[in-house]
Amino acid sequence: MIQIGRTYNLEVVKHTDFGLYLDAGNLGEILLPSKHAPDNLSIDDTVEVFLYLDSEDRPIATTQTPEAEVGEFAYLEVKDMTPIGAFLDWGLDKDEVDQRLSFGQSIQGYIKHIREDGKIDLSLKSGWQIRDHYSQMIQDYLRDHDGFAPVHDKSPPAPIFDLLGMSKGQFKKAIGGLYKQRVITIEKDGIRLV
């Protein structure tokens, strides 16, 4: 049985613009985001990945190697201390940066969220760039599936993520824009390309 917190060799079953889906047996298909996927992988190839939960508690895969797996012991470096506890470096990315940054480099960032402790979460993409990215993913899916997707704004989060690899919030923002542009219609059993 495949478990979160362990490393496995999994088979590639689907290729998308944002990554690869891997067959994780009892856990279903799990996303390996593009930034962690080797360029030369094709469907039916296998890849060694570590499985963990992302910030929204969804199973996700990475080719990065953690300092420890479930049930193992490791000494980890403390990266930050806050009133709620310590943040440790366990070998996996925790941010959204998909490019190398260097000290003193100037880049444009967008404020995503201001935390209660006064710290600011930044994104290198603006809200509209992210929405446009997800809108394009939805349109690509619709074109590849006879113009129909069996999810809509009232669908639970899990089917949306399983089908399109995005959160319900991202999905709703994207289809809202597509609906206003009259690119899709929203029906009781899903969305349809106009």
Nearest to 24 by CA among 54, 55, 61: 61
Average pLDDT over residues 34-50: 90
> CA torsion 78→90→18→42, rounded to 10°?
160
Nearest to 72 by CA among 90, 54, 56: 90
**Least confident among 101-115, 147-161, 169-183:** 101-115
To the nearest whole percent, how much of the chain has pLDDT over 90?
Answer: 33
Contact indicator for 190, 164 with CB cutoff of 8 Å: no
Q: 101 pLDDT exceeds 60?
A: no
Q: 97 pLDDT exceeds 60?
A: no
157 Cβ contact list (under 8 Å, min separation 6)? 167, 168
> Would you state the pLDDT for residue 68?
80
Q: What is the CA radius of gyration of the chain?
A: 19
> Would you state the pLDDT for residue 182?
94
How crowded is residue 54: how many other Cβ atoms within 10 Å of its Cβ?
A: 13
> Would you state the pLDDT for residue 108?
64
Instruction: Give 132-145 pLDDT, tens digit per residue.
Output: 778 998 999 999 99
Structural tokens at position 171: 């999905």
> Would you state the pLDDT for residue 47?
95
To the nearest whole percent, how much of the chain has pLDDT over 70?
Answer: 75
Output the pTM of the full model.
Answer: 0.49
**Please, what is the average pLDDT of the chain?**
81
The long-range contacts involving 151-157, CB below 8 angstroms and separated by at least 24 positions, are: 151/190, 151/191, 152/186, 152/187, 152/188, 152/189, 152/190, 152/191, 153/186
Instruction: Give 9-32 pLDDT, tens digit per residue.
Output: 999 999 988 889 999 999 899 999
Average pLDDT over residues 121-139: 72
Instruction: Give 51-90 pLDDT, tens digit per residue.
Output: 988 766 778 899 988 888 877 777 777 777 766 667 677 7
Domains located in the chain, CATH noted: 1-94 (2.40.50.140), 127-193 (1.10.10.10)
Q: Is residue 114 exposed (0-12), middle (13-18) or buried (19+ Cβ within 10 Å)?
A: exposed
> Would you state the pLDDT for residue 145?
93
